[in-house]
Amino acid sequence: MTVPSPHLQAESLTGRTALVTGAAQGIGLAIAQRLATAGASLILVDVAEQELQRAATQLRSHGARVLARVMDIADRASAQALQVELAEASSGVDILINNAAIGPERNDPAYLVAKPKFWSTPDALWLEMLRVNVFGAQLLSTLFAPDMVRRGWGRIINVSTSLDTMYRQGIGPYGPCKAALEASSRIMFQDLDGTGVTVNVLLPGGPVNSRMVPADCGIDPEDLIQPETLAEPVLWLCSNEANDVTGLRLVARHWDLRLSTRERLTAATAPIAWPQLGAQSHIPAAKA
């Protein structure tokens, strides 16, 4: 169980329910652990059954309220079944962490060194990455956002990657899928602006010590960003202090708890999807 940072006053999330995808290990598990220490009830989703049950057991042993479901997040029938189950239990989703993804290691476990060419990715893997990494987040947000709007409070946090990773050679479809997720996140933010439901994008700021960076990549795990680095900014984004913080991409590596909140936001955030680059298209006015 992650120990709460002494630098950040514990934010009470008692009474809030967080759905975390890709929660069996890595970033998803670290986020789930941190939210649990703040009192949130957890819904953990993953396709890795044994790892998911192990994570749920660990969290429950520390007093967390946990519902674990093995589920393909991009399968509408499965996602709707979870939605119905939660509705019947009178449990809404207050916080949605869209973290689950298929990583570049599925294409080549030494991708950072071997830098496989784009034509080497099998069609089936390309399409599956697109389905899970982009549509999975879209589907769950579509199902759970309307109830958040009805209740006037909610958080959607989409875990993405750095701009330079999106076009890094050898990264295969992972980068382009995360670029699509970021563009989709900006649309979500605009559609939900003013409803009490915030949408933000969270990225590590470099490769993370997780299954997505196998030993074949040749990097010492201690030199990687640790999954827990992403947990503190998530906790803050879920706090009431962040009620009006939406439409941002937050780089966890720059979230320095020694700084004031204003200084942290200046150092670690920018608008989702780079609107600062300016308008690139001309849209003619619609005729009445």
Structure tokens at 211: 């299954």
How do residues 32-48 score in pLDDT, each as one tens digit? 999 999 999 999 999 99
The pLDDT value recorded for residue 280 is 85
Distance CA 41, CA 92 (A): 11
> In residues, how long is the chain?
288
What are the beta bridge partners of residue 155?
95, 198
The pLDDT value recorded for residue 12 is 87
The whole-number average pLDDT for the span 233-240 is: 97
How do residues 18-33 score in pLDDT, each as one tens digit? 999 999 999 999 999 9
The answer to whether 117 and 41 are in contact (CB under 8 A) is no
Structure tokens at 41: 């009830």
Measured on CA atoms in the order 241, 87, 91, 57, is the torsion positive or negative? negative
The pLDDT value recorded for residue 279 is 85
Question: Amino acid identity of 181?
Answer: L
The pLDDT value recorded for residue 90 is 86
pLDDT at 236 over 60: yes
Calculate the dihedral angle through the C-alpha atoms of 17, 21, 24, 25, rounding to the nearest 10 degrees.
-110
Distance CA 178, CA 101 (A): 9
Distance CA 13, CA 154 (A): 12
Name the residue with tokens 């599956």: 128
**How many other C-beta atoms can be found within 10 angstroms of the C-beta atom of residue 109?**
16
The answer to whether 219 and 213 are in contact (CB under 8 A) is yes
pTM of the model: 0.94
The whole-number average pLDDT for the span 52-61 is: 97
The whole-number average pLDDT for the span 55-65 is: 96
How do residues 105-162 score in pLDDT, each as one tens digit? 999 999 999 999 999 999 999 999 999 999 999 999 999 999 999 999 999 999 999 9
Q: Is 174 a catalytic residue?
A: yes
Mean pLDDT of the chain: 94
Confidence at 7, pLDDT banded by 50, 70, 90: very low
The pLDDT value recorded for residue 135 is 98
The pLDDT value recorded for residue 55 is 97
Lateral strand order in the sheet of 95-98:
66-70, 41-46, 17-21, 95-98, 154-159, 197-203, 248-251, 269-271
The pLDDT value recorded for residue 11 is 55
Q: What percent of the chain has pLDDT over 90?
A: 90
The pLDDT value recorded for residue 2 is 34
The pLDDT value recorded for residue 257 is 95
Question: Amino acid identity of 157?
Answer: I
pLDDT at 8 over 50: no
The whole-number average pLDDT for the span 182-189 is: 98
The pLDDT value recorded for residue 114 is 95
42 φ, ψ to 5°?
Answer: -120, 140
Report the range of poorest mean pLDDT among 8-17, 28-37, 166-175, 180-189: 8-17
Catalytic residue among 174, 189, 236, 255: 174
Confidence at 5, pLDDT banded by 50, 70, 90: very low
Give 68's contacts (C-beta < 8 A, 6+ positions apart).
23, 43, 44, 45, 52, 53, 55, 56
The pLDDT value recorded for residue 276 is 87
The DSSP annotation for the chain comes to -PPPPTTSPPPP-TT-EEEEESTTSHHHHHHHHHHHHTT-EEEEEES-HHHHHHHHHHHHHTT--EEEEE--TT-HHHHHHHHHHHHHTT---SEEEE-----GGGT-TTHHHH---GGGS-HHHHHHHHIIIIIHHHHHHHHHHHHHHHHT-EEEEEE---HHHHT-TT-TTHHHHHHHHHHHHHHHHHHHTTTTEEEEEEE-SS-BSSTTS-GGG---GGGSBPGGGGHHHHHHHTSGGGTT--SEEEEGGG--TTS-HHHHHHHHEEETT-GGG------PPPP-
Domains present along the chain, CATH in parentheses: 17-275 (3.40.50.720)
